[in-house]
Amino acid sequence: MKTSFRLVSIIICALAVLCSCSELFPGHPVTPIDNPPLRNVPDVDVPLYTLHLEDGKVVADVDYVVNIDMGDRDEFRILNFADVQLEAEDVASQNHEYQFMFRTTENLVSLAKPNMITLTGDQTGDGDPGALNAICTQMDSFGVPWAPVYGNHDDSYYGSGVPISQQSEIYRSYENCIYRDGPAGLNRILENGSDSIGNYVVNLVAVDGDEFHVIRTFIFMNSGSREDYSDPLYEDQRWYGDDSSDACLNRNQIEWYKQMVRSASQYSVDDVVPSGVIMHIPTFGYVYAASAAFSIPVDIYDWKAWNVYAYTQSYYGSFSSMHWRKGYTDSYGVMHEFMGCPPYEEGMFKAMKEVGTDFIMVGHDHTNSFNIKYDGINFVYAMKTGRGSYTMPLTIGGTIITVAKDGSVSFTNLLDFSDAAYYPF
């Protein structure tokens, strides 16, 4: 049977988990910091938010906290799409990338049957409003709440699109989109100094008569676009000396994030509410996690050597067991390119440890797709969705986060084989 609409999808639970290799390059010492500098913005004092019941629904006293009732479900499934990266040109020509976006998201939704959809940024490649509206229309048609964060390519710096302030209006015009701008002044965009919006919270809650509790809180953050690391502020913090200009979280965002988890914890059955972070650009913690988990014959801090190795030695398929250090039996996935994280430790690792966050999920690097469980935190690279920009077979699809009633989470990669150009069988 051969049809371009054919879908053969499989669930990959553990691609590479066993390790028997020698420790050729032991990981560098991990020295997370907790006092990152604050660039270009004044400190913002973030108060705790509060929740209350209104007509049987949980309501927050700030507009950027959205509460979703788990109801009588046994589990809550979230399907994530990453780096769709549709551009004006794709919409104008209705080319393969354009058509594939509709087909693959539809297929993945029909398979996953999600209760919520998230998008980890780079919905567009250029901030084009036509491309964004096409994606929003598709997301809204699925009839479940959907929650996006901005990626660096959503910044109109990369094309002829509109600023994210206008993209915000587009998102908020769609009925099922639960995107919020969030508080002002947390961060600023490099080019024009305007506020970097799109930091908000989604709580999964349980309501029982006059009582309620937060099962899990999700913190959505705008990881920004680009940053000027030639600023003297970063002088002692640069670590691998490449020319990366991917933005990093700002101290204000990190303080805000910690307060958001503390706020939800007021309504948790335990002292600390389970929490997860959803954003676009990987944090520096991904370097700690990968450096600890992978045993590769190059220094993982040497990003150029790493890229050569990744592309030539493991192009098709996952890393074999020889690439994993011992003990990572609950981790899996592939890393085909170096992490596009900022060349700077932004302080998020310590913050996540401090408030007990157990996962972070990002996109950005299209051919990386893994979950490394490191120091109690799941460092998740979401599956890249669609054919926009660069891709690689076996890394295209969606990522499912399944939340149990007790707030615990598990992750599943959903591969999409429906693109006949990649998988002509």
Residues near Fe ion (CB under 5 A) are 122, 151-152, 364
Residue pair 345/284 in contact (Cβ under 8 Å)? The answer is yes
Nearest distance from C-beta of residue 154 to Fe ion, angstroms:
9
d(CA 110, CA 131): 23
Would you say 267 or 381 has its CB closer to Fe ion? 381
Query: Residue 118, Cβ neighbours under 10 Å: how many?
Result: 26
Nearest distance from C-beta of residue 190 to Fe ion, angstroms:
15
Nearest distance from C-beta of residue 349 to Fe ion, angstroms:
20
State which amino acid sits at residue 253: Q
Would you say 27 or 285 has its CB closer to Fe ion? 285
Residue pair 340/248 in contact (Cβ under 8 Å)? The answer is no
Would you say 364 or 384 has its CB closer to Fe ion? 364
d(CA 315, CA 199): 35
Would you say 323 or 364 has its CB closer to Fe ion? 364
Would you say 151 or 224 has its CB closer to Fe ion? 151
Q: 224-254 b/e with 16+ CB inside 10 Å = b? A: bbbbebeeeebeebeebeeebebbbbbbbbb
Angle between helices 129-140 and 164-172 (to 10 degrees): 30
Tokens linked to 346: 């932004």
Would you say 217 or 395 has its CB closer to Fe ion? 395
Nearest distance from C-beta of residue 316 to Fe ion, angstroms:
23
Would you say 249 or 292 has its CB closer to Fe ion? 249
State which amino acid sits at residue 27: G
Tokens linked to 418: 């429906």
Would you say 311 or 390 has its CB closer to Fe ion? 390
Nearest distance from C-beta of residue 232 to Fe ion, angstroms:
27
Would you say 213 or 364 has its CB closer to Fe ion? 364
Nearest distance from C-beta of residue 341 to Fe ion, angstroms:
11
Beta strands in 3-93 (DSSP E): 11-12, 51-54, 57-60, 65-69, 75-81
Residue pair 126/97 in contact (Cβ under 8 Å)? The answer is no
Task: Pick the closest to residue 381 from 393, 392, 395, 402 (CA basis).
Answer: 395
Would you say 28 or 226 has its CB closer to Fe ion? 226
Please, which residues have CB within 8 angstroms of residue 202's CB and are 6 or more apart in sequence?
65, 66, 67, 68, 116, 147, 178, 217, 218, 220
Edge-first strand order for the sheet with 200-208 is: 65-69, 200-208, 211-220, 275-278, 359-362, 377-381, 368-374, 332-335
Q: Residue 219 pairs with which residues in a beta bridge?
A: 201, 277
Nearest distance from C-beta of residue 224 to Fe ion, angstroms:
11
Residue pair 150/198 in contact (Cβ under 8 Å)? The answer is yes
Nearest distance from C-beta of residue 279 to Fe ion, angstroms:
11
Please, which residues have CB within 8 angstroms of residue 96's CB and are 6 or more apart in sequence?
387, 421
**Residue nearest Fe ion, Cβ-based:** 364
Nearest distance from C-beta of residue 76 to Fe ion, angstroms:
27
Would you say 340 or 407 has its CB closer to Fe ion? 340
Nearest distance from C-beta of residue 151 to Fe ion, angstroms:
4
Nearest distance from C-beta of residue 62 to Fe ion, angstroms:
28
d(CA 290, CA 287): 5
